[in-house]
């Protein structure tokens, strides 16, 4: 996972204004390795943002928020107003509604996005605002849920309380939610502006794969592109092994011409991303793809174990000390419930707060968090509390 940082010039400008405007800080967690679907999606988003990253946009992945220690897949923070961004960004169907702080949640082809995900993302957005209400407005935050297929069950459930408008192909806006919310359906997006995302629909042909590589030869040394391609190779490994995507001389030559062959092999072995497929491409000309897969997996496992042990120890120690997750979970959930009610309904009776503080059952507190985020009034919450 990659966290894009603000460049030195921007940092200097921010430090100059520290006395007048306090920055909003979001912690970036890197404890677990993302799936290849998530890895490919995130780097597809980074490729779409292009040169705006660092100068105009800050991107964070696997961002951890306090409620249930839930992680958000992607947070895009605008350092420059949307109207001043390049036209291909500000007019893009996914990005045209961006504000200062934008939370993205992605579900891959084999995962169904649910109504519970909608309520949880709304709750996290509200809690994030409540923790920074003296620095930002609730109008500065957007929520985006990205699904490969149309999530009919979730949208039908949302329609019971809110209006959902299909504003353009693949983009659905939820009207009436406490924060601006949009749902993106990858399969419905236009092909013209979303070639990176459209390659993550579950199948790809040899011709489409070749076109994807030819499309961006100038990116042969771009880290986002190399990581994206490596993840895509691993996603479609069953198709490659089955022969639906043929790793013939023509395709290998495309890799060579794009300057990707050596980089993908190195990345696959070091990170275990492609589990030997990339090395199979290199050795497949003389020895065949099956031998390459075997050697790539073997080397990837050995290096992965070594790196995993050393990284796991250091990360486990630092995160265990700083986070102390096992302590205070009950009090944290109580605070989340009270804070959610206070943000949504302004005044929460002290008698109600006392009832909440008496609860010690974690499962019961989890249920009440969902009620606090979806109830229409304090009275409705009190009735559920009992």
Do 41 and 174 share a domain, yes or no?
A: yes
Do 249 and 146 share a domain, yes or no?
A: no
CATH of the domain at 96: 3.40.1350
**53-62 per-position pLDDT tens digit:** 878 889 888 7
How far apart, in whole angstroms, are the C-alpha atoms of residue 107 and residue 356? 33
In a domain, 346, yes or no: no
Do 104 and 155 share a domain, yes or no?
A: yes
Does residue 198 have a pLDDT over 80? yes
Write down which residue in 172, 195, 218 finishes a domain. 195
Do 231 and 131 share a domain, yes or no?
A: no
Q: Residue 177: which pLDDT band, with cuts at 50, 70 and 90?
A: very high
Q: How many domains does the chain have?
A: 3
Q: Of the segments 15-19, 27-31, 316-320, 381-385, which one has the largest average pLDDT value? A: 381-385
In a domain, 320, yes or no: no
Do 296 and 245 share a domain, yes or no?
A: yes
| H or E element at residue 380 | helix 378-385
Q: What is the pLDDT of residue 216?
A: 55
Average pLDDT over residues 305-322: 61
Instruction: At 103, give phi and psi (nearest 5°).
Output: -100, 125
How far apart, in whole angstroms, are the C-alpha atoms of residue 39 and residue 1? 7
| H or E element at residue 167 | strand 163-168
Do 278 and 153 share a domain, yes or no?
A: no
The Cα-based distances of 136 to 49, 73, 262, 373 in angstroms read 24, 21, 46, 20
- Spatial contact of 162 and 178, defined as CB atoms under 8 Å apart: no
Do 58 and 108 share a domain, yes or no?
A: yes
In a domain, 171, yes or no: yes
Does residue 24 have a pLDDT over 50? no
Q: For the residues of 36-88, what is the DSSP string, one character each? A: HHHHHHHHHHHHHHGGGBTTTEEEEEEEE-SGGG-EEEEEEEESS-GGGS-HH
Q: What is the pLDDT of residue 23?
A: 33
In a domain, 25, yes or no: yes
Compute how many other C-beta atoms are within 10 angstroms of the C-beta atom of residue 291. Answer: 15
Q: In terms of residue numbers, what domain contains 356?
A: 331-337+352-364+372-386
Q: What is the pLDDT of residue 360?
A: 81
In a domain, 105, yes or no: yes
- Long-range pairs, 323-326, Cβ under 8 A, ≥24: 323/69, 325/69
């Amino acid at each position: 996972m990659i966290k894009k940082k603000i460049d030195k010039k921007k940092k200097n400008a921010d430090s100059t204004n520290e006395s007048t405007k306090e920055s909003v800080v979001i912690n970036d967690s890197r404890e677990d390795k993302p799936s290849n679907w998530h890895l490919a999606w995130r780097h597809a988003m980074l490729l779409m943002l292009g040169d705006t990253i660092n100068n105009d946009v800050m991107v964070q992945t696997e961002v951890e928020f306090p409620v249930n220690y839930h992680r958000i897949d992607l947070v895009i923070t605008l350092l420059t107003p949307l109207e001043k961004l390049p036209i291909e960004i500000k007019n893009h169907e996914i990005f045209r509604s961006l504000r200062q702080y934008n939370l993205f949640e992605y579900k891959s082809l084999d995962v169904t996005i649910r109504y519970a995900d909608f309520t949880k993302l709304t709750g996290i957005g509200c809690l994030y605002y409540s923790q920074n209400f003296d620095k930002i407005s609730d109008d500065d935050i957007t929520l985006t849920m990205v699904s490969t297929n149309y999530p009919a069950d979730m949208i039908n459930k949302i329609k019971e309380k809110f209006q959902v408008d299909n504003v353009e192909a693949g983009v659905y806006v939820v009207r009436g939610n406490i924060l601006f919310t949009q749902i993106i359906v990858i399969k419905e997006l236009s092909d013209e502006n979303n070639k990176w995302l459209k390659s993550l629909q579950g199948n790809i042909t040899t011709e489409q794969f070749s076109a994807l590589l030819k499309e961006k030869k100038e990116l042969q040394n771009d880290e986002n592109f190399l990581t994206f391609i490596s993840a895509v190779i691993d996603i479609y490994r069953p198709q490659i092994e089955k022969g639906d995507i043929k790793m013939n001389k023509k395709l290998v030559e495309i890799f060579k011409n794009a300057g990707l062959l050596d980089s993908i092999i190195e990345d696959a072995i070091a990170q275990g991303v492609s589990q030997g497929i990339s090395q199979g491409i290199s050795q497949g000309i003389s020895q065949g793809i099956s031998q390459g897969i075997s050697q790539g997996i073997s080397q990837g496992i050995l290096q992965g174990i070594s790196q995993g042990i050393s990284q796991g120890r250091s990360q486990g120690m630092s995160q265990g000390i700083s986070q102390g997750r096992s302590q205070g979970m009950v009090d944290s959930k109580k605070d989340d419930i009270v804070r959610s009610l206070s943000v949504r309904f302004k005044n929460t009776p002290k008698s109600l707060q006392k009832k909440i503080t008496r609860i010690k059952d974690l499962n019961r507190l989890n249920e009440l968090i969902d009620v606090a985020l979806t109830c229409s009034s304090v009275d409705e919450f009190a009735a559920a509390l009992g």
